[in-house]
């Protein structure tokens, strides 16, 4: 299926508007959910490749990200994300293979735990219930930098990303980066709600490290559907220790280690990542 065959749609989720790209098809549905601070465009060619293998594919912008609505009350709880996911899945109308990166993976854990019959499989992309603390801190710091001040140009934003991801060549074509930024008053801002970070920084929130990770581990141990963990070997969020712990939680899970990829696996090694997901879905 050609990449041009997708359509962009808006789905109402409990008064929240969720934007998705949809590749129609008769095959089993796959739902792609990006990480915090990303958008539905972060998957590179993965969605089109899955569609070319016959899948019906939906790539969503999580609330507060991309072209989905920002919550006026700043509700970026995991319960809210899981509720949005449930409504998108109801729109799809069939059990989905959930592919979630980071925040999208945590959303998948919550959604699978609440409605396991709505899923055919779960793929977690560089996220486990107990990610490495140093990696979490580095991501949140990167997101906090320039969150409210923005950038003077796309080149300045590209420089910031290159400093954060030194293993990845700095792009010369910034058209992809432009999809994740919006220009306001001559400056470029990440296209996500800064209130998203405030929730994660509050010491009494559900995201307080130990409490939420205990909850995610309990959810992981209840998983019975086919599960795949895709880890970037250069990731400081999911090291081998986190992989080993996850395999203890979900003994039936499969694991793929992507060489030369860090946390943003789909962007670092898109073909390798996509091939791993295609192969997994073909056998579940």
Q: Is residue 160 part of a domain?
A: no
Q: Is residue 224 part of a domain?
A: yes
Predicted local distance difference test score (pLDDT) of residue 49: 93
Q: Is residue 122 part of a domain?
A: yes
For β-strands 187-190 and 181-184, DSSP reports them as antiparallel
Number of domains observed in the structure of the chain: 1
Q: Is residue 217 part of a domain?
A: yes
Q: Is residue 148 part of a domain?
A: no
Predicted local distance difference test score (pLDDT) of residue 1: 38
The CATH number given to whatever domain includes residue 251 is 3.40.50.1820
Q: Is residue 12 part of a domain?
A: yes
Q: Is residue 243 part of a domain?
A: yes
- State how far the Cα of 263 lies from the Cα of 232, in Å rounded to an integer: 6
Question: Which range marks the domain in which residue 223 is found?
Answer: 3-132+205-282
Predicted local distance difference test score (pLDDT) of residue 244: 96
Predicted local distance difference test score (pLDDT) of residue 269: 67
Predicted local distance difference test score (pLDDT) of residue 201: 56
Q: Is residue 80 part of a domain?
A: yes
- State how far the Cα of 48 lies from the Cα of 37, in Å rounded to an integer: 22
Mean pLDDT by runs of 10 across the 284 residues of the chain is 72 84 94 94 91 96 96 91 93 96 95 96 96 85 89 94 82 83 92 84 54 91 98 88 97 92 71 92 93
């Amino acid at each position: 299926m050609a990449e041009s065959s997708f359509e962009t749609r808006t789905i109402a989720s409990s008064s929240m508007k969720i934007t998705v790209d949809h590749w129609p098809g008769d095959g089993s549905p796959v739902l792609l959910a990006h990480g915090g601070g990303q958008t539905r465009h972060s998957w590179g060619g993965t969605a089109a490749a899955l569609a070319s293998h016959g899948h019906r594919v939906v790539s969503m912008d999580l609330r507060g990200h991309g072209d989905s609505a920002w919550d006026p009350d700043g509700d970026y709880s995991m319960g809210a994300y899981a509720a949005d996911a449930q409504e998108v899945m109801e729109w799809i109308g069939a059990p989905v293979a959930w592919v979630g990166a980071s925040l999208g993976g945590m959303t998948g854990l919550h959604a699978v735990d609440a409605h396991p019959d709505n899923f055919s499989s779960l793929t977690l992309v560089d996220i486990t219930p107990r990610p490495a603390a140093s990696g979490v801190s580095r991501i949140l710091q990167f997101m906090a930098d320039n969150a409210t001040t923005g950038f003077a140009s796309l080149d300045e934003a590209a420089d910031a990303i290159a400093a954060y991801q030194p293993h990845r060549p700095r792009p010369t074509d910034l058209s992809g980066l432009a999809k994740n930024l919006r220009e306001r008053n001559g400056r470029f801002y990440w296209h996500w709600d800064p209130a998203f970070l405030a929730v994660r920084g509050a010491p009494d929130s559900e995201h307080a490290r130990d409490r939420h990770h205990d909850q995610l581990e309990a959810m992981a141990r209840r998983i019975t559907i086919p599960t795949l963990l895709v880890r970037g070997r250069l990731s400081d969020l999911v090291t081998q220790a986190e992989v080993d712990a996850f395999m203890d939680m979900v003994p039936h899970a499969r694991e793929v280690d992507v060489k030369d990829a860090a946390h943003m696996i789909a962007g670092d090694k898109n073909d390798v990542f996509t091939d791993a997901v295609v192969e997994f879905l073909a056998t579940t």
